[in-house]
Amino acid sequence: MLRVCRFAGFVVECGALAVAFGADQQSDPKITLTVQASYAKLAIRQLGEAAHVQLLTSPQTANDIVSFRLQDVPLSEAVKQIADAVDGKWKQEGATFRLIRTADQQNAEVKDELNQAVERIRKLIQKREDELQKMRPWSSDEADALATKAASLIKKFDPSRKNFGTWYYQGDRLSDETPIGRAFTRIAATFDPAELAELPKDIKTVWSSNPTPTEKPLQADALPIIEDFLKEQGDWANAIDKIDLTAPTTNGLTHYVGALGDFKEDAGGKVFKVLLTVTPQGTNFGFYVELMAFNQKGKKVAWTNTVLTSADDRAKTPPANAAPGDDEKIKLDADVQAFFEKRNDPQGLANSKKLKDSLINKLLHPEKPDPLSILMSSKLIQAANIKRMNMVAHLTDNMFYADGNTSTTGVSVDEFLRKIDSVTTISAPDGGWLVVKPKRPNECRTYQADRTELGKYLRRLSSGRPLSLDEQAAFALSLPDPLCNFLPWQLCNLLKLPRVDDYDPAMLRFYGLLTADQKERMMHDGLTFGSLRVEQLECVKRMLYRTRSRLGYTPPKGEEKRFDFDLFYNGLWHEPTECLPNGIPPQGLIKLTVENSNVVMATSFNPDSNGTPGPAFSAQDLAFQKYSQEHPEQFPGANDASHRFNLGHFQFGPQVKMTFLFQFTPTLSLDNTLEDTNLKDFQTMTMDDLPSDFKKQFQDAYNHYVMAYANTKPGQVNGGGSVPPP
Per-residue pLDDT, 15: 40
Instruction: Say whether both 93 and 128 belong to one domain.
Output: no
Lowest-confidence segment of 50-54, 440-444, 564-568, 588-592 by average pLDDT: 564-568
pTM of the predicted protein model: 0.81
Is 492 domain-assigned? Answer: no
- Examine the pLDDT at 324 and tell me if it is beyond 60: no
| Residue-number span of the structural domain to which 151 is assigned | 112-308
Predicted confidence band of residue 119 (pLDDT cuts 50, 70, 90): confident
pLDDT single digits (tens) 175-204: 888 888 888 888 888 888 888 888 888 889
- Examine the pLDDT at 317 and tell me if it is beyond 60: no
Per-residue pLDDT, 260: 74
Q: What is the SS3 assignment for 224-244?
A: HHHHHHHHHHHHHHHHHHHHC
- Examine the pLDDT at 48 and tell me if it is beyond 90: yes
Instruction: Say whether both 88 and 131 belong to one domain.
Output: no
- Examine the pLDDT at 609 and tell me if it is beyond 70: no
Per-residue pLDDT, 220: 86
Domain tally, the chain: 3
Lowest-confidence segment of 409-413, 433-437, 562-566, 628-632 by average pLDDT: 562-566
Average pLDDT, the chain: 83
Say what the alpha-carbon torsion angle 434, 440, 446, 449 is, to the nearest 10 degrees.
-50
Instruction: Say whether both 223 and 202 belong to one domain.
Output: yes
Predicted confidence band of residue 474 (pLDDT cuts 50, 70, 90): very high
Residue 438, preceding bond cis, omega within 30 degrees? no
Read off the amino acid at residue 360: I
Q: Return the percentage of the chain with pLDDT > 70, whole number.
A: 84
pLDDT single digits (tens) 621-644: 999 999 988 888 888 766 676 678
Instruction: Say whether both 201 and 266 belong to one domain.
Output: yes
Task: State how far the Cα of 331 lies from the Cα of 106, in Å rounded to an integer.
Answer: 36
Per-residue pLDDT, 472: 92
Instruction: Say whether both 183 and 71 belong to one domain.
Output: no
Predicted confidence band of residue 326 (pLDDT cuts 50, 70, 90): low
Lowest-confidence segment of 157-171, 424-438, 593-607 by average pLDDT: 157-171
Lowest-confidence segment of 58-62, 211-215, 316-320, 324-328 by average pLDDT: 316-320
Give the relative orientation of helices 619-630 and 692-708 as an angle to the nearest 10 degrees: 50
Question: Please, are residues 550 and 622 in contact by the beta-carbon 8 Å criterion?
Answer: no
Q: Which of 394, 397, 456 is nearest to 426 (CA)?
A: 394
- Examine the pLDDT at 42 and tell me if it is beyond 60: yes
Domain boundary among 291, 308, 325: 308
Domain boundary among 275, 308, 341: 308
Average pLDDT over residues 395-422: 86
CA 441 to centroid of chain Cα atoms? 18
Is 524 domain-assigned? Answer: yes
Instruction: Say whether both 84 and 182 belong to one domain.
Output: no
Is 319 domain-assigned? Answer: no
pLDDT single digits (tens) 335-378: 888 777 776 665 555 555 555 557 888 899 999 899 999 899 99
Largest pairwise CA distance in the chain: 101
Is 420 domain-assigned? Answer: no
Is 66 domain-assigned? Answer: yes
pLDDT single digits (tens) 493-552: 888 887 766 788 899 999 999 999 999 999 999 999 999 999 999 999 999 998 878 899
CA 311 to centroid of chain Cα atoms? 16
Per-residue pLDDT, 291: 87
Query: What one-character DSSP code corresponds to residue 602?
Result: E
Predicted confidence band of residue 722 (pLDDT cuts 50, 70, 90): very low
Per-residue pLDDT, 1: 31
Per-residue pLDDT, 312: 42
pLDDT single digits (tens) 254-293: 777 776 767 765 555 577 889 999 888 876 657 888 888 8
261: left (phi over 0), alpha (psi -120 to 50) or beta: left
- Examine the pLDDT at 74 and tell me if it is beyond 90: yes
- Examine the pLDDT at 149 and tell me if it is beyond 80: yes
Instruction: Say whether both 89 and 222 belong to one domain.
Output: no
Instruction: Say whether both 535 and 645 belong to one domain.
Output: yes
Instruction: Say whether both 31 and 157 belong to one domain.
Output: no
Instruction: Say whether both 61 and 119 belong to one domain.
Output: no
The DSSP result for 267-324, as a single string, is TTSPP-EEEEEEEEETTTTEEEEEEEEE-TTSBEEEEEEEEE--S-----PPPPPP-T
- Examine the pLDDT at 661 and tell me if it is beyond 80: yes
Is 688 domain-assigned? Answer: yes
Domain boundary among 261, 288, 308: 308
Lowest-confidence segment of 3-7, 73-77, 348-352 by average pLDDT: 3-7
Average pLDDT over residues 225-233: 85
Q: 22: domain CATH number? A: 3.55.50.30
Instruction: Say whether both 213 and 288 belong to one domain.
Output: yes
Is 713 domain-assigned? Answer: no
Is 394 domain-assigned? Answer: no
Instruction: Say whether both 129 and 167 belong to one domain.
Output: yes
